[in-house]
Amino acid sequence: MLETLDRAVGGERLIGAAAIARGANGEPVLLGCKCTACQKEMVPPVSVCPVCGGEDMREAVQPDEGVLYSYTVVHVGPKRFRRPLALGYVDLDNGVRVFSHLEGDTFKIGERMKFDVAIVGRDPDETDLTGYVFRKENGQ
Protein backbone atom coordinates (compact mmCIF):
# COMPACT_ATOMS: atom_id res chain seq x y z
CA MET A 1 0.00 0.00 0.00
CA LEU A 2 1.46 3.30 -1.11
CA GLU A 3 1.37 6.27 1.20
CA THR A 4 -0.92 8.90 -0.30
CA LEU A 5 0.32 12.43 -0.15
CA ASP A 6 -2.42 13.88 2.03
CA ARG A 7 -1.11 11.73 4.85
CA ALA A 8 2.54 12.34 3.97
CA VAL A 9 2.47 16.13 3.93
CA GLY A 10 1.04 18.19 6.75
CA GLY A 11 -0.64 21.54 6.36
CA GLU A 12 -1.32 21.54 2.65
CA ARG A 13 -4.83 21.29 1.26
CA LEU A 14 -4.86 18.69 -1.49
CA ILE A 15 -7.21 18.43 -4.44
CA GLY A 16 -7.51 14.95 -5.96
CA ALA A 17 -5.58 13.57 -2.99
CA ALA A 18 -6.71 10.00 -3.60
CA ALA A 19 -4.69 9.92 -6.83
CA ILE A 20 -1.47 11.41 -5.47
CA ALA A 21 1.01 9.14 -3.70
CA ARG A 22 4.69 9.16 -2.83
CA GLY A 23 6.64 6.87 -5.13
CA ALA A 24 9.69 4.75 -4.36
CA ASN A 25 12.13 7.66 -4.78
CA GLY A 26 10.01 10.02 -2.68
CA GLU A 27 8.63 11.98 -5.64
CA PRO A 28 4.86 12.23 -6.12
CA VAL A 29 3.29 9.71 -8.50
CA LEU A 30 -0.17 9.40 -10.04
CA LEU A 31 -2.04 6.59 -8.34
CA GLY A 32 -4.77 4.56 -9.98
CA CYS A 33 -6.02 1.03 -9.62
CA LYS A 34 -6.44 -2.16 -11.61
CA CYS A 35 -9.33 -4.60 -11.42
CA THR A 36 -8.03 -8.16 -11.17
CA ALA A 37 -11.27 -9.49 -12.72
CA CYS A 38 -11.58 -7.39 -15.91
CA GLN A 39 -8.04 -5.97 -15.98
CA LYS A 40 -9.31 -2.41 -16.46
CA GLU A 41 -7.19 0.35 -14.97
CA MET A 42 -8.50 3.71 -13.84
CA VAL A 43 -7.77 6.85 -11.85
CA PRO A 44 -8.43 7.41 -8.94
CA PRO A 45 -8.18 4.18 -6.90
CA VAL A 46 -11.62 2.78 -6.00
CA SER A 47 -12.66 -0.23 -3.95
CA VAL A 48 -15.24 -1.60 -6.40
CA CYS A 49 -14.79 -1.82 -10.18
CA PRO A 50 -17.26 0.52 -11.97
CA VAL A 51 -16.94 -1.61 -15.11
CA CYS A 52 -17.60 -5.14 -13.81
CA GLY A 53 -18.42 -4.80 -10.10
CA GLY A 54 -15.32 -6.75 -9.04
CA GLU A 55 -14.04 -6.02 -5.55
CA ASP A 56 -10.44 -7.15 -5.90
CA MET A 57 -8.87 -3.83 -6.89
CA ARG A 58 -5.10 -3.39 -6.76
CA GLU A 59 -3.28 -0.06 -6.53
CA ALA A 60 -1.48 0.74 -9.75
CA VAL A 61 1.03 3.55 -10.20
CA GLN A 62 0.24 5.24 -13.51
CA PRO A 63 2.67 6.31 -16.24
CA ASP A 64 3.87 9.87 -15.61
CA GLU A 65 3.29 11.00 -19.16
CA GLY A 66 0.68 10.90 -21.87
CA VAL A 67 -0.89 12.70 -24.82
CA LEU A 68 -3.34 15.61 -24.53
CA TYR A 69 -6.72 14.36 -25.87
CA SER A 70 -8.61 17.63 -25.44
CA TYR A 71 -8.58 20.71 -23.26
CA THR A 72 -10.34 23.98 -22.51
CA VAL A 73 -9.62 27.19 -20.66
CA VAL A 74 -12.52 27.96 -18.32
CA HIS A 75 -13.57 31.38 -17.08
CA VAL A 76 -16.48 30.17 -14.92
CA GLY A 77 -16.92 27.59 -12.18
CA PRO A 78 -15.72 27.12 -8.60
CA LYS A 79 -13.99 30.23 -7.28
CA ARG A 80 -11.40 28.24 -5.33
CA PHE A 81 -9.51 27.39 -8.52
CA ARG A 82 -7.35 29.71 -10.64
CA ARG A 83 -9.10 31.78 -13.30
CA PRO A 84 -8.81 31.25 -16.13
CA LEU A 85 -8.43 27.55 -15.41
CA ALA A 86 -6.94 25.13 -17.95
CA LEU A 87 -8.48 21.67 -17.81
CA GLY A 88 -7.91 18.66 -20.02
CA TYR A 89 -7.97 14.93 -20.58
CA VAL A 90 -4.59 13.24 -20.87
CA ASP A 91 -4.36 9.77 -22.44
CA LEU A 92 -1.69 7.77 -20.62
CA ASP A 93 0.38 5.19 -22.43
CA ASN A 94 -1.37 2.34 -20.55
CA GLY A 95 -4.82 3.21 -21.97
CA VAL A 96 -6.08 5.24 -19.00
CA ARG A 97 -7.59 8.69 -19.57
CA VAL A 98 -7.04 11.21 -16.75
CA PHE A 99 -8.94 14.42 -16.10
CA SER A 100 -6.42 17.02 -14.95
CA HIS A 101 -5.57 20.63 -14.41
CA LEU A 102 -3.01 21.77 -17.01
CA GLU A 103 0.06 23.97 -16.46
CA GLY A 104 1.20 26.27 -19.25
CA ASP A 105 0.20 29.20 -21.43
CA THR A 106 -0.83 27.43 -24.62
CA PHE A 107 -1.79 23.85 -25.37
CA LYS A 108 -2.12 21.62 -28.41
CA ILE A 109 -4.18 18.50 -28.81
CA GLY A 110 -1.84 15.57 -29.40
CA GLU A 111 1.18 16.99 -27.58
CA ARG A 112 2.96 15.03 -24.88
CA MET A 113 2.32 16.07 -21.29
CA LYS A 114 4.08 15.17 -18.06
CA PHE A 115 2.69 14.58 -14.57
CA ASP A 116 3.56 16.99 -11.76
CA VAL A 117 2.15 18.40 -8.53
CA ALA A 118 1.53 22.15 -8.26
CA ILE A 119 -0.56 24.90 -6.67
CA VAL A 120 -3.94 24.91 -8.45
CA GLY A 121 -5.92 27.46 -6.45
CA ARG A 122 -6.58 29.10 -3.12
CA ASP A 123 -9.46 28.80 -0.67
CA PRO A 124 -11.19 31.86 0.85
CA ASP A 125 -9.24 31.24 4.09
CA GLU A 126 -6.00 31.93 2.12
CA THR A 127 -4.88 28.29 2.14
CA ASP A 128 -3.24 27.24 -1.12
CA LEU A 129 -4.70 24.24 -2.92
CA THR A 130 -2.24 21.68 -4.23
CA GLY A 131 -3.20 19.17 -6.88
CA TYR A 132 -1.82 17.01 -9.64
CA VAL A 133 -1.30 18.69 -13.00
CA PHE A 134 0.05 17.83 -16.42
CA ARG A 135 2.45 20.20 -18.13
CA LYS A 136 4.18 20.22 -21.50
CA GLU A 137 7.02 17.78 -21.62
CA ASN A 138 9.49 20.26 -23.12
CA GLY A 139 9.47 23.94 -22.19
CA GLN A 140 7.42 25.82 -19.57
At closest approach, how far in Å is the CB of 59 from Zn ion?
15
H or E element in which residue 8 lies: helix 5-8
Contact (Cβ atoms closer than 8 angstroms) between residue 92 and residue 66: yes
Binding-site partner at residue 41 among another protein, Zn ion, none, CB < 5 to 8 Å by type:
another protein
For residue 63, whether the previous peptide bond is cis, meaning omega lies within 30 degrees of 0, is no
Our finding on whether 42 is near another protein (CB under 8 A) is yes
Question: Shortest CA distance to 15 belongs to which of 6, 28, 27, 26?
Answer: 6
At closest approach, how far in Å is the CB of 95 from another protein?
5
Residues 91-130 that bind another protein (CB under 8 A): 91, 95-97, 99-101, 109-110, 120-121
By beta-carbon proximity to Zn ion, the closer residue of 35 and 86 is 35
At closest approach, how far in Å is the CB of 40 from another protein?
6
Among the listed residues 6, 87, 104, 116, the single contact to another protein using CB under 8 A: 87
Our finding on whether 131 is near another protein (CB under 8 A) is yes
Q: Which residues would be at the binding site for Zn ion (CB under 5 A)?
A: 35, 37-38, 49, 51-52, 54
By beta-carbon proximity to Zn ion, the closer residue of 51 and 119 is 51
Question: Shortest CA distance to 14 belongs to which of 98, 103, 80?
Answer: 80
Q: Single out the segment in contact with another protein by CB under 8 A; choices: 4-12, 22-30, 54-62, 80-88.
A: 80-88
Contacts of 84 (CB under 8 A, 6+ apart): 73, 74, 75
- Per-residue DSSP letter, 69: E
The CA-based angle 112-114-117, given to 5 degrees, is 155
